[in-house]
Amino acid sequence: MHTPIALLLELGIILTALSVLGAAARRFGLSPVPLYLVAGLALGDGGLAPVPAAREFVDTGASIGVILLLLVLGLDFTVREFTASLHHHRSSAAVDLVLNAAPGAVAGWLLGLDTSGILALAGATYVSSSGIVARLLADLRRLGNRETPAVLSVLVVEDFAMAAYLPLLAVITSGGTWWQALLAVLAATGAVVTAIAASGRWGHHVGRILSHPDKEQVLLRVLGITLIVAALAETIHVSAAVGAFLIGLALTGTAADRARAVLSPLRDLFAAVFFLALGVSVDPGDLVPMLPAAAVLALVGVATKVAAGWYAAGRDGAGRRGRLRAGTALIARGEFSVVIIGLAGPAQDRLGALVTTYVMLLAICGPILTRFAPTRPAAPLPTTVAGPGAGPRDQRPQ
């Protein structure tokens, strides 16, 4: 089998460059995500050094990357913990929806867009990036923090909301009737509820099936089942990342530990490719004209996400520092916002450059603001944390 030399060369250069950028970020105690995004801008169409031979690999690797990020994140929690947290954070999800969809809807109205355009822009400003947030929580070692279950609850509710939102947007954009839109929403919502119930009821069987003494078998079984579930999730218009997260929740104890050990290196590789791909998909020339409008929308987006995270973390008893960490963790927008604009119909041409610029600004600024959010506890560490907000550890900083 002949492998194109250009593909090998470009992939080698890309991975080497990511290694250098990652080492530089770690040297200064930063997450490498913003640097990976900027590198993607340089390597994409219109950038300084396009990589046409490696583009297909980068696009495919990006899809796998976000799946692995959410899969490994799910391994740190159980179905019981997470469903309790979701129930506890119903009001947090409502606050997040109102605060973050409203700016997009208002901006769409001011731009004179039709109903589908307003709905599309509202969705783009509402949903955070699952991939970026998952990587940040791991990079900054905040998975055990008191505010983290609140962040994950808000994040996953957003992804679940997309299951109802995307079919609704597609029907409205195509000129469908109200009953067609309602039917699409009900079908998608029913599929999500069924998936969660099945994961909680039969999750322990999944752990037994995927467990094996051999590391290779664990890797192949867990990754194979996860990709199948992710594909099924996409089929019913649920995020593939949500399907992967549910598989991670279903694995507990020794099965989760073994899966985490074999998957973590693979996650790190494809996660880097995912962040690179977000930048590669953007033409830098499209960003400059939209910077003023996107910057204003981004500033509003920062404020509304911080407010939503502040409220959600407060419901779990986090202090002011924990609330601020939660809010800044949710700032980054990403893959879903870009998908939404692809479904915007006639408004796509007007919104594409604006939303892309908005996404890049928040995808780069979000991790930086999260890194510099206060990390030291404002009060003595609690000995135990009980209740629906409790996550994978018993001791959590404020």
CATH number of 14-141+149-371: 1.20.1530.20
pLDDT at 250: 78
> Domain locations in the chain?
14-141+149-371
| Single-letter amino acid, residue 79 | V
pLDDT at 380: 42
Q: Are 325 and 370 in contact (CB under 8 A)?
A: yes
What token pair was written down for 16? Answer: 């080497």
DSSP per position, 151-205: HHHHHHHHHHHHHHHHHHHHHHHTT--HHHHHHHHHHHHHHHHHHHHHHHHHHHH
State the burial class of residue 146 (Cβ atoms within 10 Å of its Cβ: 0-12, 13-18, 19+): buried
| 60 sits in which H/E element | helix 55-74
Low-confidence ranges of the chain (pLDDT < 70): 1-3, 176-177, 184, 188, 191-192, 195-196, 198-207, 236-239, 342-349, 375-398
CA-CA distance, 311 to 16, in Å (whole number)? 41
pLDDT at 377: 47
SS (H, E, C) 257-312: HHHHHHHHHHHHHHHHHHHHHHHHCCCHHHHHHHHHHHHHHHHHHHHHHHHHHHHH
